[in-house]
A and B are shown apart, each in its own frame.
Chain A
């Protein structure tokens, strides 16, 4: 980045945040799936499962996430806690790209363990955050707890940041759960991780836009790149660095920047 560009770039990005952090954003975004619930636990479970399958085309993600919710009788919290083995087997029909029925059943059982024994998703992510005061420590702890039940195959569907994964979907899930502002896109349901600590959900779109804007020099989209770009965004707004996800994502998806 050229040094003199900082102020202009911040103004530009702030404008793009205002432009895309709007209710219309929800209409084409997977966040609309958890938005259809009203209970805290239903929202966070729906959000977690939707975020988990958030790769590929956005209409496909939304359609499949809605299908998954329907298979859980649109009561994801109740399903996680109370479904019988045979009811869980109905999830065998589900498939989203490489996330298949077996993965889905594993997720339901693991979430059951988390809600019955760990106080729910919020507690696990929050406790992990306290261990190192970073989102990375939160994800590392979550990974350990999530894979307490045996299930090797499914490991590929949760990012392992200790191995350098960018954890785009987990970072997006945390943005949904933690950020809160007047525009009402993100839920802001949890208050056990500060907004200032969040990391950018880095994917091909946000990564490419960040590189074009010289906010990111690293070529791979891995955890080091997440740290690099989040640090730059923290210079623009240490209180809410991840609001710029709206700018980078909007520029990539809507403006083909």
Chain B
């Protein structure tokens, strides 16, 4: 589904990615692990079209990403890729339900349909009684689950997450991890997750170890 071909990226004189080749099939959880500064986040951003490689190519469903115009890429990203970050990035003045709906509204999904999908996801993630709460009224674990629901609302091909449980206590972390695997099992959802959590990485379908800019 996603293919990375010979991805290289330098920051100034420092070569962070030195020729990454990777193929990620549908319906799998892939974790990316490695020491700080190994290039994990850089790789995730390039796979998610948030960053451009210096050379190499990303393919999504055999389509070349570099061939997209800026606007095509923006629309593609909103539709095909869900993002979950360590810090939740929810808009503070909107409720959980509204936050989940926003990417669907941007994709011009009609309001009743967007809300139906958002409610179903929030219910699936155990947040039915929190839908009218604003982010400041939610716990850290709840906020991350809202962020997961938002990432899923447009039925993306893949969800990319950068340390999604990095800010959570161990109980909430385990809950979130269980949910991600449940989403894989129930809906065939694909995840690519940068993590420092060895337990999570061990549970994933494949671990991508990055060291000194290459996959080892």
Q: Which of A4-12, A145-153, A161-169 contacts B (4 or more CB under 8 A)?
A: A4-12
CB–CB A238/B83 < 8 A: yes
Kindly state the separation between the CA atoms of A235 and B153 in the bound complex, as whole angstroms: 14
- B111 CB within 8 Å of chain A: yes
CB within 8 Å of B: which of A160-201?
Answer: 181-182, 191-192, 194-196
Kindly state the separation between the CA atoms of A194 and B85 in the bound complex, as whole angstroms: 15
* CB-contact partner of A7 in B91, B93, B107, under 8 A: B107
If A235-B91, A240-B70 touch, does A194 touch B107 (CB 8 Å cutoff)?
no
Kindly state the separation between the CA atoms of A191 and B17 in the bound complex, as whole angstroms: 13
Kindly state the separation between the CA atoms of A217 and B111 in the bound complex, as whole angstroms: 24
CB within 8 Å of A: which of B6-53?
Answer: 9-12, 37, 41, 45, 49-51
CB–CB A7/B105 < 8 A: yes
Query: In the assembled complex, how far is the CB of residue B75 from the closest CB belonging to chain A, in whole angstroms?
Result: 10
* CB-contact partner of B89 in A7, A14, A231, under 8 A: A231
Query: In the assembled complex, how far is the CB of residue B131 from the closest CB belonging to chain A, in whole angstroms?
Result: 14
CB–CB B108/A7 < 8 A: yes
User: A234: nearest residue on chain B (CB-CB)?
Assistant: B89
Kindly state the separation between the CA atoms of A239 and B103 in the bound complex, as whole angstroms: 14
Q: Which B residues touch A182, using CB under 8 A?
A: 70
CB–CB A238/B77 < 8 A: yes
CB within 8 Å of B: which of A115-148?
Answer: 119, 122-123, 126, 130, 133
CB–CB B103/A235 < 8 A: yes
- B57 CB within 8 Å of chain A: no
- A203 CB within 8 Å of chain B: no
How many interface residues does B have (CB within 8 Å)?
31
Where chain A touches its partner, the secondary structure class is: helix
CB within 8 Å of B: which of A1-51?
Answer: 3-4, 6-7, 10, 14
Where chain B touches its partner, the secondary structure class is: mixed
Kindly state the separation between the CA atoms of A126 and B16 in the bound complex, as whole angstroms: 13
Q: Which A residues touch B9, using CB under 8 A?
A: 191
- B73 CB within 8 Å of chain A: yes
- A232 CB within 8 Å of chain B: yes
Query: In the assembled complex, how far is the CB of residue B45 from the closest CB belonging to chain A, in whole angstroms?
Result: 6
Query: In the assembled complex, how far is the CB of residue A87 from the closest CB belonging to chain B, in whole angstroms?
Result: 30
Q: Which B residues touch A240, using CB under 8 A?
A: 70, 74
If A196-B45, A239-B49 touch, does A3 touch B111 (CB 8 Å cutoff)?
yes
Q: Which B residues touch A130, using CB under 8 A?
A: 37
CB–CB B98/A133 < 8 A: no
CB–CB A239/B91 < 8 A: no
- B101 CB within 8 Å of chain A: yes
Q: Which A residues touch B106, using CB under 8 A?
A: 6-7, 10, 235-236
User: B46: nearest residue on chain A (CB-CB)?
Assistant: A194
User: A123: nearest residue on chain B (CB-CB)?
Assistant: B12
* CB-contact partner of A196 in B51, B103, B108, under 8 A: B51
User: A228: nearest residue on chain B (CB-CB)?
Assistant: B92
CB–CB B105/A6 < 8 A: yes
User: B162: nearest residue on chain A (CB-CB)?
Assistant: A133
Q: Which A residues touch B89, using CB under 8 A?
A: 231, 234
- B102 CB within 8 Å of chain A: yes
- B71 CB within 8 Å of chain A: yes
If A14-B71, A217-B93, A235-B91 touch, does A196 touch B102 (CB 8 Å cutoff)?
no
Which A residues fall within an 8 A CB radius of B? 3-4, 6-7, 10, 14, 119, 122-123, 126, 130, 133, 181-182, 191-192, 194-196, 217, 228, 231-232, 234-240
14 A-B contacts (beta carbon < 8 Å): A3-B94, A3-B101, A7-B105, A7-B107, A130-B37, A181-B70, A182-B70, A191-B10, A195-B51, A196-B51, A234-B89, A235-B106, A239-B77, A240-B70
- Rank and list the top 8 A-B pairs by shortest CB-CB distance, nearest first: A192-B11, A6-B105, A196-B50, A7-B108, A237-B74, A239-B50, A194-B51, A6-B106
